[in-house]
Structure 1
Amino acid sequence: MLHFIRKSIGLKTLTLIAGISVVVFTILIGVTTQRQYDGMLGQMDTALTRVSELIKLATDGPMLVGDDDGTKAQFALLAKRYPDTQVYITNFKNNITYSTRTGTVRKDVEDVFSDPSVLALTEKAVKTDVHEGLLLKEGGKSFMLRSTSIPNDDSCHHCHGSSQPILGQLVVVKDVTPMVAGIHRQVLETVAFSVGGLATLICIVFFFLRKTVIKPVQEITEASHRIAHGELETQFTVHSQDELGKLESNLGEMVGKLKEQLGFSRGILQGMTTPFLVTDTEGNVTFTNKGMVDCLCELGDPDQHVGKTVGEFFYNDVSRETLTHKVLANRKAITGVEVEFTDRDGETRYSVLDSSPIYDLDGNLMGAFTVCTDMTEFRRQQRLVEEQNSRITRAAEAAGAIAVQVSSASEELSAQVEQSSSGAEEQRSLTAEGATAMEQMNATVTEVARNASNAAEMAGKAQDVAKNGVSVVEDTVRHINDVARQAESLKTEMGGLADKAEGIGEIINVIEDIADQTNLLALNAAIEAARAGDAGRGFAVVADEVRKLAEKTMSATRQVVDYVGSIQESTRRNMAATEEAVKLVEQSTAMAGESGRTLHSIVQMVVETADQVRAIATAAEEQSAASEQINRSMEQISRISSETADAMNQSAQAVSDLARLAVDLNAIITDMRR
């Protein structure tokens, strides 16, 4: 019962009104009844006092003259006339001397009355002057008893003397049962009317309060209950213009403000893309967003995770203590804490947490607000950048080693090119000398042919001409031998030049491989730097410079390759021409020897001069043609030697550029290492 009363303002109001009304009416009824009772007792006491005085007046006459029979006659008359009244006179010893009940005469009061209050009053009345009354109940009836002391007046001294101040007492007992019953009826009527009035008043007040107070309060309670459970669209209906009406209006405005503020707050929370969560004071999730769910690779909507502990939400461990628990325990914000955890897909993730306590307007702790910044991609990019830096460092070290090799190879190539250039210059000089000799030999052969023709005409002078021919042939043989030696030397030099050109080709191949590898490393470094974004922009610049140097190196190398190819091709042609020249020189040498032998035979065999001269003429013509061929070959060798010398100079310049590029590449790699 008390439980229902505590939960209902109507029952509380009804109980309060009923309680107050019952108490007030009970007090009023009690006071009224008591006043009526006291009034009735007062009236009865007054009436009994008058009766006592009348009885005393009626009995004083015979008693004053000592007329005992007259006194008894008066008491008998009173008993007959007032059967509902008992009259007793006692002496100072409380012994009854006269009574309307003859059976009680000469008895003590205590033998007639058993009520202690009566005995006490009668005992008091014989000692002091008393005029008191009291109400008795005995045998289902009500009696009014009045005790009046009888003082020892002067008129009594002649019989009783003056020793006793109180001679006795007059006790009058009247049956007041009808009067008491009337009082009881009045009291019951008063109570009945009071209860009826009380019930009527309670009903009127209750229905009035129910209509004007309780019902509006209940409506306010129901509406506020729905609002407390999230039904913010609930409206407060204003029923009156009194305080409750103003309360409903104010509550409606308050809900409107609350909806506006909650809408603003919810809009901010739902509009945030940064992962976050809100917890209560126990560390349970009360709100989170899609970003946080996606960050943890959780399934479902954010509302499905409301009520979980932060440990369960993050680590799938209900009892785990988290940063939010520390913030709630210390009531201080904690920021910049990086945590590592494994999401539901089994991947390791990194996040920076910033958590702060939330207080209401009164400063009471409401929970905590935690923002999660996903650093997983940043850490992944950081590792990639570190790996790229490591690869770039290794590439720089390899490129440095390659640059050193390129520089060394360039120096060696420069030395070989310089040596080849010197050989080419020497070859050009020797070729020029060989050309001069071949021109001389050609002139000599022409002269031989002319002389052979003349010899056919001048057969008579064959001996002299033969002698001169021997001398000329000897000179020719000597010059041809010189040409043969020079051609052999040229062949040897051209062979060395070919070998050196082949060496240059091998070095160029090494340089091309180094340039290709450097370009590949530069491209890889540029790709890795592009993947790193802004963090690899510096590496991209360096990689681009390395790539440009590699392209310059490859361009210079291709030029050197072209030049070396030209040198090799020219050298091969020179070798072929030189070998042909050597063969022709050998043939010329043989022919010159044969000419010498023929001239010696001419001296001995003049008879056969004509035939021999014709043979010599024929051989001279062939020799002249061979000399022309040798002369042309020597011109070609001279031209090729000049081209080779120029190519060697260009190769030297290219190798110098390559060495300079290798030095620049090494400097860039040194800067990269820093």
Structure 2
Amino acid sequence: MAGFIRNSIGAKTSLLVSLISFIIFSALVSISSYMQRSSMMAELDKAMTTTSELVQLSIEKPMVVGNDAGTRDEFRFLSEKYKDMTIYLTNFKGNITYSTDSHTERKDLDAVVQNETLSGLAARALKVNTHESAMLEYAGGSHFVRVVSIPNASACHHCHGASQPILGQMVVMQDITPTVANIDFQLYENIAISLGGLLTLIAAVVFFIRRSVVRPLLHIANSSEEISKGNLNADLVVHSDDELGILSRNLGHMVDKLKTELGFSKGILDGMTTPALVVDTSCRISFTNPALLKLVGHSGNPADFVGQGVGEFMFNESGRETLSHQVLANRSSIVGHESTFTNRRGEQVTMVVDSSPIYDLDGKLIGAFTICTDMTEVRQQQALVQEQNKMITHAAHAAGQVSEQVSSASEELSAQIQQSSAGADEQRKLTADSAAAMTEMNASVLEVAQNASLAAESASEAQRQAMEGAKVVDAAVHKINTVAEQANMLKQEMGELGRQAQGIGQIITVIEDIADQTNLLALNAAIEAARAGEAGRGFAVVADEVRKLAEKTMSATREVVSFVGSIQDCAKRNVTATDRAVTLVGESTELASHSGQMLHTIVGMVESTADQVRAIATASEQQSAASEQISRSVEEINIISSETAQAMLQSANAVADLARLAQELNGIIEEMRRG
């Protein structure tokens, strides 16, 4: 019973109303009874005072003159007139001298009326002048007594002398039993009526309270219990315009706002494409999303994993400590932690984890929020870039070797061309000597023939040197073509590197879009939480933590973008340098081909010179007299020798340019190595 009263506001209210009503009723009845009795006593005292004064006046006249018979007649008249009244007149000793009951005369008042209250009043009235009244129970009834002292007045001295200040007392007793009974009846009647009214009032008040207060409160309590269990669609509305109706509507509005805020927050969490995880203070999952299930390698719905430990969820080890344990233990955020693990599908996964503690509006720790960024593909792209860099370094090394070979071949070709040029100069000098000796040819044809033979030998040697130079140039052209092929391969590899870096940039762009969207959603959540007031403070904390994690994700993404941009810039510079190397190699090929053509021309010229020298020798043997014709032939030989020397000089310049281009190619390759 006590438990029911303690747990029921209706029982408490009914009991409280009943107790208060009973206390008020008892107080009113007591006050009413007291006031009735006080009023009755005042009226009786007033009436008895008047009666005693009248009695005293009626008996005073015969007593003053000493008329004993007249005094007795007055008492007899009073006894007949007032049946409910008894009057005693005593002397100063308390002995009854006159009475409406003649049988009590000459007896002591205490013996006749045995009552302590009356005895006390009578004793006091004989000592001092007293006019007192009292109510007493006597002879089975209620009596009202008036005791009046009779002082020894001067008019009484002739009979009683002046020795006693109080001659006696008059005691007037009235039987008020019917009056008291009537008053008691009225009192009981009033109590019964008041009790009936009290019960009616209590029933009406309890009915009103239960109907207007308890029933709506019970409805609100039951609905709030449903809401506390998660049923936000419970009906809180009380159809009234009083405070309870306003309270129910306010609670309904609050629940609607909570539904809106919870729906907004749930929408943010459900709409996140980034793998996310929320745990309670026991490090058990209270929220996750499909993105994290996919990353970890789980199948099923996120709701299937609510309540599971983080260690068991992530690593299939229930007792394993995770970053969420550290965040809850240290109450501090962990940002940018990178780890690699094998998921449930056996795949190697690399992720960056950002985790922060979550507090309620009172600063109490309620859990932790974690965002996981999948960096597996980024790390794979980085490894691919490193492999491409190795390939570029290898190609640059091979191109450097080819460049060194081209430079060495160019130097050798330059030396041979210089040697051919020296032979051509020597030939020109010999031809000049032959021209000078033409004036003496008539004198010594044999000397001319010998000089012609020497010229033929020099031409043969020049032919041989020119043919060697042509072979060297052909080899240089072959090597330069090899360099061109390597440079083209390098260009293709650098282009592939640029495309891979561009792919990384596209992935980073997607991550930036996700982070921007998360930041925007968190900002909207914070605005809505601020509008919700106190009801939205919990969601403001979660939204603020989401916004901070999104900003950290954006910062990390910007760093990755910077690194990828550096890779792209380096790849572009390498592609540009490779294009320049290809261009220079092409120019070198053209120059080397031109040098080969010039050398072949030189060979033809040297062959023609040899034939002409041999013709000179034959002519000198056969036509010693044709000096004029020989002179012209020598002049032609001199011209051809000059042209040969000039062609050799051009070949030397071309070879020098080829050597310089080879050095430039080597410098470009070194720059690629450093880049």
Q: Normalising TM by the smaller chain, what interval?
A: 0.5 to 0.7
> Which residue of 2 is the match for residue 656 of structure 1?
657
Are 2:412 and 1:416 equivalent residues in the alignment? yes
Q: Could you give the per-residue CA deviations for residues 6-46 of structure 1, whole angstroms, max 9, x where no partner exists?
A: 76554455345434543443343333322332344345445
Structure 2 CA distance for aligned equivalents of residues 98 and 37 of structure 1: 32
Cα distance, 1:384 vs structure 2: 2.8
Are 2:375 and 1:377 equivalent residues in the alignment? yes
Match among 569, 574, 579 for residue 538 of structure 1: 569
Are 2:180 and 1:180 equivalent residues in the alignment? yes
Instruction: Say what the alpha-carbon RMSD is for the aligned residues.
Output: 6.5
Native 8 Å contact 1:410 1:659 kept in 2: no
Counterparts of 1:97-112 in structure 2, within 5 Å, are none
Q: Could you give the per-residue CA deviations for residues 388-438 of structure 1, whole angstroms, max 9, x where no partner exists?
A: 589859966994x77776665444322211233355668899999xxxxxx
Native 8 Å contact 1:33 1:187 kept in 2: yes
Look up the equivalent residue of 1:377 and give its one-letter code. Answer: M
Structure 1 CA distance for aligned equivalents of residues 95 and 339 of structure 2: 114
> Which residue of 2 is the match for residue 322 of structure 1?
331
Structure 1 CA distance for aligned equivalents of residues 104 and 194 of structure 2: 48
Are 2:195 and 1:202 equivalent residues in the alignment? no
Structure 2 CA distance for aligned equivalents of residues 94 and 343 of structure 1: 123
Structure 2 CA distance for aligned equivalents of residues 374 and 291 of structure 1: 12
Cα distance, 1:657 vs structure 2: 3.8
Given the superposition, is the C-alpha separation of residues 313 and 479 from structure 1 closer, same or farther in structure 2, using an over 3 Å criterion? Answer: closer
Structure 2 CA distance for aligned equivalents of residues 196 and 103 of structure 1: 50
Look up the equivalent residue of 1:320 and give its one-letter code. Answer: A
> Which residue of 2 is the match for residue 450 of structure 1?
none
Helix, strand or coil at the partner of 2:159? helix
Structure 2 CA distance for aligned equivalents of residues 266 and 30 of structure 1: 67
Q: Could you give the per-residue CA deviations for residues 150-188 of structure 1, whole angstroms, max 9, x where no partner exists?
A: 222233222333454433333344554554344333322
Native 8 Å contact 1:559 1:654 kept in 2: no
Q: Which moved more, 1:654-663 or 1:376-385?
A: 376-385
What TM-score results when the alignment is normalised by the length of structure 1?
Answer: 0.57
Given the superposition, is the C-alpha separation of residues 36 and 420 from structure 1 closer, same or farther in structure 2, using an over 3 Å criterion? Answer: same
Helix, strand or coil at the partner of 2:330? coil
Native 8 Å contact 1:358 1:369 kept in 2: no
Are 2:337 and 1:340 equivalent residues in the alignment? yes
Native 8 Å contact 2:327 2:355 kept in 1: no
Look up the equivalent residue of 1:157 and give its one-letter code. Answer: H
Native 8 Å contact 1:388 1:529 kept in 2: no
Cα distance, 1:259 vs structure 2: 5.0
Native 8 Å contact 1:296 1:314 kept in 2: no
Look up the equivalent residue of 1:198 and give its one-letter code. Answer: L
Given the superposition, is the C-alpha separation of residues 373 and 175 from structure 1 closer, same or farther in structure 2, using an over 3 Å criterion? Answer: same
Helix, strand or coil at the partner of 2:233? coil
Look up the equivalent residue of 1:530 and give its one-letter code. Answer: R
Helix, strand or coil at the partner of 2:148? strand
Native 8 Å contact 2:278 2:287 kept in 1: yes
Look up the equivalent residue of 1:419 and give its one-letter code. Answer: A
Native 8 Å contact 1:125 1:149 kept in 2: yes
Structure 2 CA distance for aligned equivalents of residues 423 and 354 of structure 1: 81
Q: Could you give the per-residue CA deviations for residues 312-336 of structure 1, whole angstroms, max 9, x where no partner exists?
A: 8852458513347xxxxxxxxxxxx
Cα distance, 1:527 vs structure 2: 3.8
Given the superposition, is the C-alpha separation of residues 349 and 659 from structure 1 closer, same or farther in structure 2, using an over 3 Å criterion? Answer: same
> Which residue of 2 is the match for residue 638 of structure 1?
none
> Which residue of 2 is the match for residue 616 of structure 1?
none
Structure 1 CA distance for aligned equivalents of residues 647 and 241 of structure 2: 117
> Which residue of 2 is the match for residue 133 of structure 1?
133
What TM-score results when the alignment is normalised by the length of structure 2?
Answer: 0.57
Are 2:151 and 1:151 equivalent residues in the alignment? yes
Counterparts of 1:210-289 in structure 2, within 5 Å, are 210-212=210-212, 214-227=214-227, 229-235=229-235, 239=239, 259=259, 263-264=263-264, 266-268=266-268, 270-273=270-273
Counterparts of 1:160-559 in structure 2, within 5 Å, are 160-174=160-174, 176-212=176-212, 214-227=214-227, 229-235=229-235, 239=239, 259=259, 263-264=263-264, 266-268=266-268, 270-273=270-273, 290=289, 293=292, 297=296, 301=302, 305=306, 314-317=323-326, 319-323=328-332, 338-340=335-337, 349-351=351-353, 377=375, 380=378, 384=382, 388=385, 392=389, 399=396, 408-422=404-418, 523-533=492-502, 534=505, 535=565, 536-552=567-583
Native 8 Å contact 2:285 2:308 kept in 1: yes
Given the superposition, is the C-alpha separation of residues 391 and 262 from structure 1 closer, same or farther in structure 2, using an over 3 Å criterion? Answer: closer
The unaligned stretches of length 5 or more in structure 2 are: 312-319, 344-348, 429-444, 506-564, 602-606, 608-642
Structure 2 CA distance for aligned equivalents of residues 654 and 303 of structure 1: 79
Q: Could you give the per-residue CA deviations for residues 235-262 of structure 1, whole angstroms, max 9, x where no partner exists?
A: 5667567776677667666766665565
Counterparts of 1:69-80 in structure 2, within 5 Å, are none
Structure 1 CA distance for aligned equivalents of residues 322 and 138 of structure 2: 87
Structure 2 CA distance for aligned equivalents of residues 45 and 309 of structure 1: 95
Q: Could you give the per-residue CA deviations for residues 551-575 of structure 1, whole angstroms, max 9, x where no partner exists?
A: 45765787799899999999xxxxx
Helix, strand or coil at the partner of 1:320? helix
> Which residue of 2 is the match for residue 608 of structure 1?
none
Structure 2 CA distance for aligned equivalents of residues 154 and 24 of structure 1: 58
Structure 1 CA distance for aligned equivalents of residues 456 and 234 of structure 2: 125
Given the superposition, is the C-alpha separation of residues 397 and 211 from structure 1 closer, same or farther in structure 2, using an over 3 Å criterion? Answer: same
Look up the equivalent residue of 1:532 and give its one-letter code. Answer: A
Counterparts of 1:590-669 in structure 2, within 5 Å, are 653=654, 656-657=657-658, 659-660=660-661, 662-664=663-665, 666-667=667-668, 669=670
Which of these two proteins has the greater Rg computed from alpha carbons?
Answer: 1
Look up the equivalent residue of 1:663 and give its one-letter code. Answer: E
Q: Could you give the per-residue CA deviations for residues 206-231 of structure 1, whole angstroms, max 9, x where no partner exists?
A: 33454455444544554455456544
Given the superposition, is the C-alpha separation of residues 658 and 487 from structure 1 closer, same or farther in structure 2, using an over 3 Å criterion? Answer: closer
Cα distance, 1:133 vs structure 2: 1.8
Given the superposition, is the C-alpha separation of residues 126 and 504 from structure 1 closer, same or farther in structure 2, using an over 3 Å criterion? Answer: farther
Look up the equivalent residue of 1:322 and give its one-letter code. Answer: R
Structure 2 CA distance for aligned equivalents of residues 371 and 506 of structure 1: 70
Structure 1 CA distance for aligned equivalents of residues 321 and 135 of structure 2: 85
> Which residue of 1 is the match for residue 30 of structure 2?
30
Structure 1 CA distance for aligned equivalents of residues 44 and 295 of structure 2: 98
Structure 2 CA distance for aligned equivalents of residues 146 and 671 of structure 1: 140
> Which residue of 1 is the match for residue 18 of structure 2?
18
Cα distance, 1:47 vs structure 2: 5.7
Q: Which moved more, 1:197-206 or 1:247-256?
A: 247-256
Look up the equivalent residue of 2:22 and give its one-letter code. Answer: V
Helix, strand or coil at the partner of 1:148? strand
Look up the equivalent residue of 1:203 and give its one-letter code. Answer: A
